[in-house]
Structure 1
C-alpha cells in the first residue's frame, strides 16, 4: 500500500484547520453534556464524525481510518478494559468471601467520619495504587471500596476521579514523566522537579476539595486539622521525592507517609461531629478484629501492590523488551495497512518518520497479569471455590460489557484523531502562539489525555512539540514538557476512558454523562490555574 503523509494544515489556515480538527472532540463533549447520551453511543457517533473529517478534510485513505479505529478498539480491550475487569473481579472476591467487611471495619476503626475516610481511601490509598499500577486500576478499586463504605455510586466515582489528580502525574512508577523525558532527550529528574513547583500545591488543594464536595465549608471547618495533616504530609513528601529521587517513587512515598501520618493523628484527634453520607451523625457499629485478621483481609491489595511494583521495575521490564531474554513472550501484531504506512512530518518530528501501529499483547508482564496473579493467590488463601469464581466472572463480565464498549469506542475515535494528524493540528495551532505559549501549553497535555486517557500517551503525542516550541521561544524545554504532564493530569478526571472505568466500577454503566457533568468544571478550573501559573513562572 502507498504510504500516506499526514497533513497538518489542510485548509491552508492553521487556526481554521484547528477548528475543524476540534469538531469531533466538541461533538463528543456535546453528546455527553447536552444530549446526555450513553458513553458508547456518544463514542460511536464521534467515530463517524472523526472518520468523516479525516477522509474529507485530511484526505486520509478510508482503509487507514478503519484500521486506526480497529487499533484503538484493540487498545481499549488490552490493557485498559482487561485491567478494569481484573480489578473489579478482585474487589468482588473480597466482598463475596466476607473479607471486605473486615477492610471496611479497619477503615472505620481509624475514623468513622466519612469525610476523612475519603482522604484515606480515595486520596492516599488511591495515589498509592496509582503509583504502583495506574491505567484505571486505582479509580476502579477505590470507587468500589467507597461504595462498600456507604457512598452512593455517583458520589464515589466522582470523588475518586477528582482525587486521582493528586497522583495522576506520577502513575505506574512515574512513567508520565520519564517517558516524555526519554522521547525528548531530557533529564527526567529535571522534568519532575519542574512539576514539583505546582503539583504538590494542587495535591493540598485536592484534599480540601474532596471534603468540600462532601460537606461544604462546614466540613472543612470541622475537619481542618486532619485535612491539613493529610494534604501537607502528602505534598511535602511528594515535593521532596520529586526533587531528590525522581518521579518513579513520588506517589508511593507520598501516599504511605500521608496515610500513616493521618492514621496516627486520628488516634489522638477526631472531629466533634462524625459525618455520615446519609447525614446521620452517629458512628456505625464496628466489630473488633485482630491485627492478623485485618492484615489477612487486606492481603490481596498488599500483594497486588508488591506485584505491580515488581512488574514496573526496570529490571523486570527489560526482560521483555526487544533483545531481552523473554521478548518472545510479548505477542506483537502489526496492524495491517496502518503500521508504518502513515508518515509523520516536520514540524511534528524533525524528519519524516513512519508511524508505527503495533498491538502489543504482553500477557506475562502487564498490570492485568499482576492483578490476575493476585486473584489466583487470593482465591487459594481465601479457599474460594470454583463455582464462586465462575459466578463472579460471569457477573463481572455482564456488568462491564457496556463500559468496555465505551472504552473501545472512545479509543477508536481518539486513534483516528491521532493517526489522521488532527491532534497534531491542534498542537501546532497552540504552539504558534509565540511568547504566550506557556499559557496554552497545558491545553495540549489536557487534549492529549482527553483523547487517549493516559498522561503517558499524551506525553508521547505532544512532548516533542512542547520541547521544540519551548526552545524556539527561548525557555527551557523541560518546563513545557513538565507543563504537558501537569495539564494532562487535570484531564484524567474527564477523560472518557477514565469516566467509563469509574462508571463500571460502581455499576453506573450508561450514565457516564452524569460523571462527566460533575468533573468537567473542576478539570477546566484547574487547567486554567496551571496555565496562569505556567506563564507567570516559566
Structure 2
C-alpha cells in the first residue's frame, strides 16, 4: 500500500513547483517547441512518473499501474464515446443528410447575422453534443464561409461559438472525467455546472454579433441574440438539473433554435445585410473554396442570401474529416428533415430509457461492474484508500454504447448501405488514432499526479490564498483547456487539485470543481488545436495568430465574468445556487 505524501520537500512552495513540473513540461512542449499533442502528453507523463518515483517515493509498479488505469479510462469511456459519435456524423454526411440540417437552419432567415447564430451557435451545439474535439468548428466554419463571411471572420465566429456548449460536449464527457478524479457524482457536478454555464451561454451570442457586424449588428439584431442566449441557457439549466446531463447540449440547442424561430415569426432585423467586414460588404465567389461553393449551392449563394439545396454531391465536410461522399440532398418535404435529425431523437430516447427508473434502467445497471485496478493499492494522507483506484466498467449503459446503437439505427433510417457504414466506421477509427493516443496519455498523466499526491500538493499550496481562490479557480480551468484544447482533459488534470485547494480554503469543493469546467470552456477559443482546425478548414494555415487575436479578448472578458459569478457563489450572495450550499 502506497500512502500519499503531500509535502516531500518539507517546503510547500518548492513542493508545489515540483508537482507542477509535469504540467510545465507539457506546456513547454506544446507552446514553445510546438510538438504534436500526443508527444507533449507523453513528455508530461514521463516527467510525472520520474517525479512520483524519485521525490514522492511511489513504487515503480504503482506508478505504472496508475498510468495504465488512467489510459484505460481515457479509452473507455471517453474515446469510446468520441469514436461512435464521429461515426454517426460520418453516416449523416455519407447519406447527404448532414447538409440538410445546415440548410434547415439557414433557411429560417435571410439575414446573414441570424443565419450565423443559427449555424455557429445552435447547430454547432448540436454537433458538439455528439462529437466535440473541434468537430463543430471545422463544420460550421465552412457553412459560415458559404454565407459570405470572409474566411478570418468565419473562423473566429465558429471558434468562439464553440465555447458555449463545451462543458457538456461529447455526451457529457467532461463531466464524467471530472467525476472520476473528484469522486463527486456526475449528477451533482452536472447540476452545478448547469448553474454556471448558462451565464456564458447567454453572453456568447452578443459577442458573436459584435464579431460579425460590430455595434451596428448588436443594435439591429440584439433581440435574436437575447432570445437565442436565453433559450440556450434555460435548456442547459433544465437538462443538467432535472433531466439527463448527457443530453444538455441537445436540449440547449433545441431550446435556443425553437426560441429563435418563434421570434422570427413576429420580428425581423431592421436591415438585411451580410455581416461582412467593417463596411458590411460581400465576398466574391472566388474567395470561397470550390468544394464549399459546390456543396452549398454554387456561386449563387451570395452574402446575405439563404442557403439553397445543393444540385451536386457535397464533399465540403468530407474535405475536413475524410468522409465517404454520399448522394446530394434533394428537397423531399419534411421527411428528409426528420430523417436528418433522427440521430438526435434516437439518442434522446435511448438515454431516457437507461436513465429513468424502470425495468430497462435496472436491466442495464445489472451489467455494471466496479473493481479495484489490479496491483494498484493507494491510500490518501488520511490512510483511507482513494476511490480513483477503482475502475467502473458499465459497458451496456455507457454513453459510447448508446451512441453505437444510435449509429446502427441511424444507418438504417438514413439508408446507408452496410458496406459503406462499415467503411465510415473504419474512417472514424483512423481519424481518431492521434486523438485517442493524446487522450490516453493526458489521462495517464492525470492519474499519476492524482495518485502520487502531486495534485494535493498543488492544491494545498494554492489554498494559501484563502477565499480568493474562488476567483483564481476559473483561470486554472481556462489555462487547462487553452493548453490541451479539451475541457475533458482540463478536468482530468486540475479537477482533484481544485477540490483539494477548496477543502483547505474552506470553500465548496463541488463549486470549485464545477468552476474548473464552466470557466475552462472559454479556453477553447484560445486552444492551439482548435485554432489549427479552424485555419485548416478555411485555407488559413499559418494565420492562427490572427484568429487568436480576434477571439482572445472575448475569451478573457467572459472568463472574468464567470470568475466573478463563482466568487459570488462562494459567498452568501449566491451560495443558494450551490447544491447543498
Q: TM-score, structure 2 length as denominator?
A: 0.72
Show structure 1 runs of 5+ residues with no match: 320-324
1:176–1:459 contact (8 Å) kept in structure 2: no
Q: How far did residue 254 of structure 1 move?
A: 4.6
> Residue 490 of structure 1 is aligned with which of 512, 515, 519?
519
**Alignment CA distance shift 1:40-1:216 (3 Å):** farther
Secondary structure of the 1:433 match is helix
**Alignment CA distance shift 1:331-1:113 (3 Å):** farther
Q: How far did residue 6 of structure 1 move?
A: 0.7
Q: Which whole-Å deviations, capped at 9, do the CAs of 1:220-277 have from their partners, x for residues lacking one?
A: 445323112211343456568889x589587666543322111222344145113479
> Residue 510 of structure 2 is aligned with which of 474, 481, 494?
481
Q: Say what the alpha-carbon RMSD is for the aligned residues.
A: 4.5
User: After the TM superposition, which residues 182-261 of structure 1 pair with which residues of structure 2 at under 5 Å, given as runs?
Assistant: 196=195, 199-213=197-211, 216-217=214-215, 219-235=217-233, 254-261=252-259
**Alignment CA distance shift 1:276-1:99 (3 Å):** farther
Would you say 1:401 and 2:433 are equivalent positions? yes
Structure-1 residue corresponding to 2:496: 461
Q: How far did residue 47 of structure 1 move?
A: 1.2
Q: How far did residue 512 of structure 1 move?
A: 13
Secondary structure of the 1:204 match is helix
- CA distance, structure 1, for counterparts of residue 175 and residue 76 of structure 2: 18
**Alignment CA distance shift 1:158-1:75 (3 Å):** farther
Q: Which whole-Å deviations, capped at 9, do the CAs of 1:431-450 have from their partners, x for residues lacking one?
A: 23234343334456667878
Structure-2 residue corresponding to 1:163: 164
- CA distance, structure 1, for counterparts of residue 536 and residue 433 of structure 2: 11
Q: Which whole-Å deviations, capped at 9, do the CAs of 1:277-324 have from their partners, x for residues lacking one?
A: 9846242551455222211221122212332343444558963xxxxx
Q: TM-score, structure 1 length as denominator?
A: 0.77
Structure-2 residue corresponding to 1:67: 65
- CA distance, structure 2, for counterparts of residue 219 and residue 113 of structure 1: 11
Q: Which whole-Å deviations, capped at 9, do the CAs of 1:95-145 have from their partners, x for residues lacking one?
A: 111112221211111135554445334534555677xxx6x7355664464
Would you say 1:410 and 2:442 are equivalent positions? yes
Show structure 2 runs of 5+ residues with no match: 146-150, 285-302, 310-330, 572-581
Structure-2 residue corresponding to 1:37: 35
1:276–1:282 contact (8 Å) kept in structure 2: no
User: After the TM superposition, which residues 35-434 of structure 1 pair with which residues of structure 2 at under 5 Å, given as runs?
Assistant: 35-111=33-109, 115-125=113-123, 137-138=131-132, 142-143=136-137, 145-146=139-140, 149=143, 158-159=159-160, 161-164=162-165, 168=168, 172=172, 196=195, 199-213=197-211, 216-217=214-215, 219-235=217-233, 254-267=252-265, 268-270=267-269, 272-275=272-275, 279=283, 281-283=303-305, 285-287=307-309, 288-313=331-356, 319=362, 329-330=367-368, 334-338=372-376, 341-346=377-382, 352-434=384-466
- CA distance, structure 2, for counterparts of residue 128 and residue 484 of structure 1: 25
- CA distance, structure 2, for counterparts of residue 343 and residue 520 of structure 1: 42
**Alignment CA distance shift 1:345-1:513 (3 Å):** farther
1:178–1:188 contact (8 Å) kept in structure 2: no
Q: Which stretch shows the higher mean deviation, 103-112 or 525-534?
A: 525-534
